[in-house]
C-alpha cells in the first residue's frame, strides 16, 4: 500500500486561503468517503481536523473544510492565521481494511 | 474525556524486540466501534500507520511490517500493546498510540503524546 501523495509545502499570507491536495487511488481515497485530515505541530500529538472527507469534529474552526473529487481529496484553510502554520496529513481507509497516510505538507504562513 | 499514554523503553538494541504499551483512560477498550492503533513518525519524516486492533480482537497491519509486528490488547487493564521484532535503526521513531472511531470513518480522534524509541545503528 503506497502512501497518499501530498505537496511537500504550501504557503500563504494571513487572511488568504490555501488548499492542500491528497492524491490516492480507487482503492483508498476514491473508493471510500473515509478521508481524514490532521494538523501536526512538531513535538505534540496530531489533531484531527476533518473526518469523512468534509466533517469537522466539535471545536474545530470552520475555517477548515474538506472535499473530494475522484481519487483526490483536498483540505482548504481560509482566513489563514499564524497559528495555522504546521504540518498537515491526510489519511484514508483502504480496500485492504487498513489505513494509509499522506507524506505530509508543511504550511508556512508568510 | 479519553486519554492515551504510551510507555516503554526509549532505547532498543538492533535485532531485539521493541515493546510499547498504551494505557487508555476515560473509556473501555473492550467496548464500542473502536480501532486501537499504533502510528509512528521517524525523525524528519511523515506519519506511518503501523496497525490496529479492533475491540473484538481482530488485528490489521501495515503490509510493509508484516512478519515483524504484533498488536494485542488486555481489556482488564485497559491497555493495548505493540511488539516489533528484529528492529534496525530505520525503526527509530516517535511512536503514537491512537483511537480510530468507526463512526468517524476510522479517523484517529484521540492520540497519545508520543514516545521516542531509538535504535542505535
Q: Does B104 touch chain A (CB under 8 A)?
A: yes
Contacts of A38 in chain B (CB under 8 A): 47, 108
pLDDT tens-digit series, residues A13-23: 999 999 999 99
Q: What is the pLDDT of residue B4?
A: 97
Interface probe for B, chosen from A9, A66, A98, A105 (most Cβ of B below 10 Å), is A98
The dihedral through the CA atoms of A45, B53, B91, B15 has a sign that is positive
Beta bridge partner(s), residue B94: B41, B116
**Distance, CA of B118 to CA of A30 (rounded, Å):** 36
Structure letter (DSSP) for residue A35: E
Instruction: Name the residue among B8, B39, B14, B38 with its Cα closest to residue B117.
Output: B8
- The mean pLDDT value for B95-117 works out to 95
Q: How confident is the model at residue A101 (pLDDT cuts 50, 70, 90)?
A: very high
Task: Look at residue B35 and tell me whether its pLDDT is greater than 80.
Answer: yes
Cell matching residue A74: 483536498
Instruction: Name the residue among B20, B24, B10, B19 with its Cα closest to residue B112.
Output: B24
Amino acid at each position: 500500500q503506497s502512501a497518499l501523495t501530498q505537496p511537500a509545502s504550501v504557503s500563504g499570507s494571513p487572511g488568504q486561503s490555501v488548499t492542500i491536495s491528497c492524491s490516492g487511488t480507487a482503492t483508498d481515497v476514491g473508493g471510500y468517503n473515509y478521508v481524514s485530515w490532521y494538523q501536526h505541530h512538531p513535538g505534540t500529538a496530531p489533531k484531527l481536523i476533518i473526518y469523512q472527507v468534509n466533517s469537522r469534529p466539535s471545536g474545530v474552526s470552520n475555517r477548515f473544510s474538506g472535499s473530494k473529487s475522484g481519487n483526490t481529496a483536498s483540505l482548504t484553510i481560509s482566513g489563514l492565521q499564524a497559528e495555522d502554520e504546521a504540518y498537515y496529513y491526510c489519511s484514508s481507509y483502504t480496500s485492504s481494511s487498513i489505513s494509509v497516510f499522506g507524506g505530509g505538507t508543511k504550511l508556512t504562513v508568510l | 474525556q479519553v486519554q492515551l499514554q504510551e510507555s516503554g523503553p526509549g532505547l532498543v538494541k538492533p535485532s531485539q524486540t521493541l515493546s510499547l504499551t498504551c494505557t487508555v483512560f476515560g473509556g473501555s477498550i473492550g467496548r464500542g466501534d473502536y480501532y486501537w492503533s499504533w502510528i509512528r513518525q521517524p525523525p524528519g519524516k511523515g506519519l506511518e500507520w503501523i496497525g490496529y486492533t479492533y475491540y473484538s480482537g481482530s488485528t490489521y497491519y501495515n503490509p510493509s511490517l508484516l512478519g515483524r509486528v504484533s498488536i494485542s490488547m488486555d481489556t482488564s487493564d485497559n491497555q493495548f500493546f505493540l511488539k516489533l521484532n528484529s528492529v534496525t535503526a530505520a525503526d527509530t521513531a516517535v511512536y503514537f498510540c491512537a483511537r480510530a472511531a468507526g463512526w468517524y470513518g476510522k479517523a484517529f480522534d484521540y492520540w497519545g503524546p508520543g514516545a521516542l524509541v531509538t535504535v542505535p545503528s
